A = this chain, B = another copy of it.
Amino acid sequence: MAQKVTVYDVAELAGVSIATVSFAFTRPEKVKPDTVRAVMVAADTLGYVPSASARGLARGRTGAIGLYAYDYLLDSSAVSIDDDSAVSSARLFPLYADEVQRGVQLECRDRGYALMIGGNRTPNHLPHVIEVAGRVDGLIAFAGALSAAHLRQVASRIPVVELGGEVREPGTATVLVDNRQGMADLTHHLLKTHHYKRFAYLGELGTPEFRQRWEGFSTTLIDAEISVPEVTPSHPGDDASTVAAVEALLDKGELPEVLVCDTDQSALVAIAELKRHGLTVPRDIAVTGFDGILAGQLNHPPLTTVRQPMEEIGRLAVSLLVDVLGGGKAAEQADPLISSFMPGQTCGCS
């Protein structure tokens, strides 16, 4: 940890001014080739590492993009597939947020941006997201991860792209995914192929994307003149709420024929809980999910679900952000990304 080498040191060794050093790095074509070479040699000799803080301050931008997720998404959530399978020991599966993050990483790399993933500790009184926001030129946030107030505050300083189903705030971009059609297709399948009539729905209506799923489900039932169940509350990331929801269902006595869940994670938790009660899926009850995460496909039998283009969502978010940062006007997504029905076997298909 020797003392820092700065532009001044490089300039001195190269026998030029600090401005020339700066130009040599950022606009080499504006500097005499020999001078550039001399600067590079000096920088190399000294082991010069430019300070991103200083550069960021001077330029007014950091060259980094931030990704803000719910805290719980970072936890080592244990979605164990099957307690007696060889798989059970691998407790980490890429969940929805992980796969989106991967897309974000890839696109950031392609676009030449650094990616900041939020630190958590807030040594001062500022909310966590503000800490992240202060470090980056633009922020990507999962739908629902930001309160409206924070969203507004952050968005007033840097462009924000939300990952979700609907535009929440005028001025902040949103990656649109048509959750509705995918869920409608899935419901249609349950109706037409399996002729189910007694449905239950596990989930929530807290964010636009969840509401879309519900709408895809409920309107399809209505169209088919099948009675629409109530939403049995279950919250993403909160497995306990899913377990409770299943208990509630079981307590009611009569079991539905099929349990439609609004995330794969809750579907998997529900399946495990049903099994704990001696019920087999899909023999005793069918179950479906939403997202298309790996864990669902690895379930035995594979989960019937709707796949979201997760990597694409992440990539698109970065693209939108970079376009705005590049001086473009508020980039608009051309068409919503689509979600697609993904048949498995938990619906009763074989």
Residues of A bordering B, CB below 8 Å: 1-2, 4-5, 25-26, 28, 40, 43, 47, 49-57, 62-64, 71, 74-76, 86-87, 89-90, 92-94, 98-99, 102, 105-106, 108-126, 130-135, 152-154, 156-159, 294, 297-298, 302, 311, 344
Assuming A1-B156, A87-B297, is B64 touching A130 (CB within 8 A)? no
This protein's copies in its complex: 2
Contact between B49 and A133, CB atoms less than 8 A apart: yes
Assuming A5-B157, A157-B2, is B311 touching A126 (CB within 8 A)? no
Question: Which residues of chain B are within 8 angstroms of A159 by Cβ–Cβ distance?
Answer: 1
Assembly CA distance A113 to B123 (angstroms)? 11
Assuming A76-B106, A89-B297, is B52 touching A130 (CB within 8 A)? no
Contact between A92 and B87, CB atoms less than 8 A apart: no
Assuming A56-B53, A74-B109, A87-B298, is B26 touching A124 (CB within 8 A)? yes
Question: Which residues of chain B are within 8 angstroms of A47 by Cβ–Cβ distance?
Answer: 152-153, 156-157
Assembly CA distance A114 to B115 (angstroms)? 10
Assuming A119-B109, A120-B110, is B51 touching A134 (CB within 8 A)? yes
Enumerate 29 A-B pairs (CB-CB under 8 Å) in ascending A order. Answer: A1-B156, A2-B157, A25-B125, A47-B152, A47-B153, A47-B156, A49-B130, A50-B130, A52-B53, A52-B62, A54-B57, A74-B106, A74-B109, A75-B106, A76-B102, A76-B311, A90-B294, A92-B102, A92-B294, A93-B94, A94-B94, A109-B118, A110-B120, A112-B122, A114-B116, A114-B119, A114-B131, A116-B116, A117-B117
